[in-house]
């Protein structure tokens, strides 16, 4: 396993539990992941069981959507979870170790090639070059995966995500996430996620790194909010399915998590989908399951890609209409089904509010015609 982070440790634990020998290679010197406030659906509890509790900071029961002076509210039947990545990853590492996986820090993957029986890996461990041998290699090494590159996968497009940790504004309840659609700043959105009664993460996804950071600074200033610390990185944009396996000689190479672009492109969430990809890779290596997990993940990622294509060229009046159309019945559907069941969610929303189909078609046409004008 190359990469000791969310997807890597989750996959390692699954494979080790299935009775295979696993070694995780992580380039960082120790287990001190950078803090990052993340929002995930309740589905995480099914994936992690009781150990999810180690990293949960807060629960979100409502979303408030804002655009151009309008707002809509959506209550969640099953609360979303706010988790701290710096707690999640050590907890996953412990699980992998308890299942029997060996962890090697300060060990950087450099390259791989076929050998007589499987794969030969070149790594640098504590400054020294080493050669390792394995039947299978899993690349869980993030958005700019070296494993993917050397095994012949095309590189994955990424977008910048920047968020500031701020004091929770007095008018924002700690169980409510706020989302602002500001198409002049970004085709994505701004969000405010409370991690406690005192603190929240306020962030933006954009297209150009510098411009995205500048927009966030201006947005904070407009709202009179002081940043306490900054978090950010580039995250993959899912545009098409990335096959998870390649054959190199007699060995198998797999990709998982951000390395395979397993990120919901409409909300840019990669934790729950990365774990689904992890389970699919573990099943492929252990030869269990029948590919159902992979099919479900593919369907999920494609639905989010359709949603993103629909909204990517929305102008201000489209967002205003969207927020207006989120009437009581649509809001009911949104609240009952999580964003990790997006196909069911989409059909239910469209059945209850057919005018959203027209709005969606307009969005797709705007994208096809390359509309730039924003009103
Ligand atoms: C600021 C921010 C906020 C986010 N918010 C959310 C959110 O709210 N909800 C959500 O679901 N997702 C969110 N995401 C996305 C989510 O964090 C990622 O999808 C997820 O963490 C990816 O995990 P991963 O294990 O696939 O990759 P990574 O976490 O990128 O891990 C890759 C690992 O591989 C190691 N590595 C890389 N190269 C090598 C090498 N050559 N040799 C050995 N090791 C190597 C790295 O050191 C790293 O530890 C956010 C991302 C960012 C940046």
Q: Is ligand 1 within 6 A of the CB of residue 23?
A: no
Q: Count how many Cα atoms sit within 13 Å of the Cα of residue 79 in the half-sphere of its side chain.
A: 14
| SS3 state of residue 109 | strand
Higher pLDDT, 374 or 85: 85
Q: Read off the pLDDT of each residue in 56-82 and give the average, rounded to a whole number.
A: 91
For residue 363, CA distances in Å to 57, 314, 359 come to: 36, 6, 6
Please state which of the ranges 57-71, 147-161, 328-342 shows the lowest mean pLDDT: 328-342
Instruction: Tell whether the torsion through CA atoms of 295, 301, 302 and 303 is positive or negative.
Output: positive
Q: Ligand 1 centre and the CA of 140: distance in Å? A: 9
Q: Is ligand 1 within 6 A of the CB of residue 160?
A: no
The pLDDT value recorded for residue 374 is: 34
CB 152 within 8 A of CB 112: no
Q: Read off the pLDDT of each residue in 71-95 and give the average, rounded to a whole number.
A: 92
User: What region does 3 belong to: left with phi over 0, alpha with psi -120 to 50, or beta?
Assistant: left
Which residue puts its alpha carbon closest to atom 38 of ligand 1?
A: 141
For residue 118, CA distances in Å to 46, 188, 249 come to: 35, 43, 7
Q: Ligand 1 centre and the CA of 68: distance in Å? A: 33
Q: Read off the pLDDT of each residue in 143-148 and give the average, rounded to a whole number.
A: 97
Express each pLDDT in 332-342 by its tens digit. Answer: 656 666 666 66
Residue 373: pLDDT over 50: no
326 pLDDT band (50/70/90 cuts)? confident
Q: Give the residue from 322, 292, 293, 296 showing the smallest Cα distance to 307.
A: 322
Distance of alpha carbon 205 from alpha carbon 10, whole angstroms: 26
Q: Read off the pLDDT of each residue in 331-359 and give the average, rounded to a whole number.
A: 64
Q: Ligand 1 centre and the CA of 22: distance in Å? A: 20
- Residue 343: is it exposed, middle or buried by C-beta count within 10 angstroms (0-12/13-18/19+)? middle
Q: Is ligand 1 within 6 A of the CB of residue 121?
A: no
Residue written as token pair 């990622």:
301
CB 211 within 8 A of CB 219: no
The average confidence (pLDDT) of the chain is 89
Q: Give the residue from 316, 365, 235 showing the smallest Cα distance to 68.
A: 316
Q: In degrees, to the nearest 5, what angle opens at C-alpha 153 toward C-alphas 85 and 158?
A: 45
Q: Ligand 1 centre and the CA of 85: distance in Å? A: 9
314 pLDDT band (50/70/90 cuts)? confident
Distance of alpha carbon 188 from alpha carbon 205, whole angstroms: 6
54 pLDDT band (50/70/90 cuts)? confident
Q: State the pTM of this model.
A: 0.91
For residue 369, CA distances in Å to 141, 247, 312, 365 come to: 37, 40, 12, 6
Q: Is ligand 1 within 6 A of the CB of residue 277?
A: no
**Ligand 1 binding pocket mutation candidate from 270, 273, 301 (most atoms within 8 A of CB):** 270
Q: Ligand 1 centre and the CA of 16: distance in Å? A: 22
Residue 222: pLDDT over 60: yes
Express each pLDDT in 228-287 by its tens digit. Answer: 999 999 999 998 999 999 999 999 999 999 999 999 987 889 999 999 999 999 999 999
């Amino acid at each position: 396993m190359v990469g000791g982070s969310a997807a890597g440790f989750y996959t390692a634990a699954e494979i080790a539990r299935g009775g295979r020998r696993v070694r995780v290679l992580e380039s960082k010197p120790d287990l001190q992941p950078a803090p990052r406030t993340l929002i995930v659906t309740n589905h995480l509890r099914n994936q992690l069981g009781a150990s999810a509790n180690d990293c949960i900071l807060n629960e979100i029961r409502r979303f408030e959507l804002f655009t151009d002076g309008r707002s809509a509210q959506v209550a969640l039947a099953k609360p979303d979870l706010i988790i701290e990545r710096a707690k999640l990853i050590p907890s996953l590492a412990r699980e992998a170790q308890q299942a029997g996986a060996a962890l090697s820090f300060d060990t950087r993957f450099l390259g791989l090639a076929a050998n007589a029986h499987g794969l030969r890996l070149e790594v640098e461990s504590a400054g020294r070059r080493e050669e390792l041998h394995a039947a299978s290699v899993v690349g869980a090494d993030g958005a700019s995966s070296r494993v993917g590159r050397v095994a012949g996968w095309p590189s994955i497009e990424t977008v910048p995500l920047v968020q500031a940790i701020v004091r929770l504004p007095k008018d924002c309840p700690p169980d409510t996430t706020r989302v602002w659609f500001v198409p002049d700043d970004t085709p994505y959105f701004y969000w405010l996620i409370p991690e406690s009664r005192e603190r929240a993460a306020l962030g933006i996804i954009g297209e150009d790194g510098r411009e995205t950071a500048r927009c966030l600074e201006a947005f904070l200033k407009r709202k009179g909010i002081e940043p306490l610390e900054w978090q950010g990185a580039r995250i993959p944009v899912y545009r098409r399915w990335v096959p998870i396996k390649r054959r190199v000689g007699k060995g198998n190479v797999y990709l998982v998590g951000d390395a395979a672009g397993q990120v919901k492109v409409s909300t840019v969430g990669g934790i729950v989908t990365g774990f689904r990809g992890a389970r699919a890779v573990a099943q492929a290596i252990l030869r269990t399951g029948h590919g159902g997990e992979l099919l479900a993940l593919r369907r999920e990622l494609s639905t989010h890609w359709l949603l993103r294509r629909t909204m990517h060229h929305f102008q201000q009046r489209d967002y205003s209409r969207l927020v207006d159309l989120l009437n009581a019945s649509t809001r009911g559907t949104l609240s009952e089904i999580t964003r990790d069941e997006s196909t069911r969610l989409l059909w239910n929303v469209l059945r209850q509010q057919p005018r959203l189909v027209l709005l969606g078609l307009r969005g797709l046409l705007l994208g096809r015609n390359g509309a730039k004008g924003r009103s």
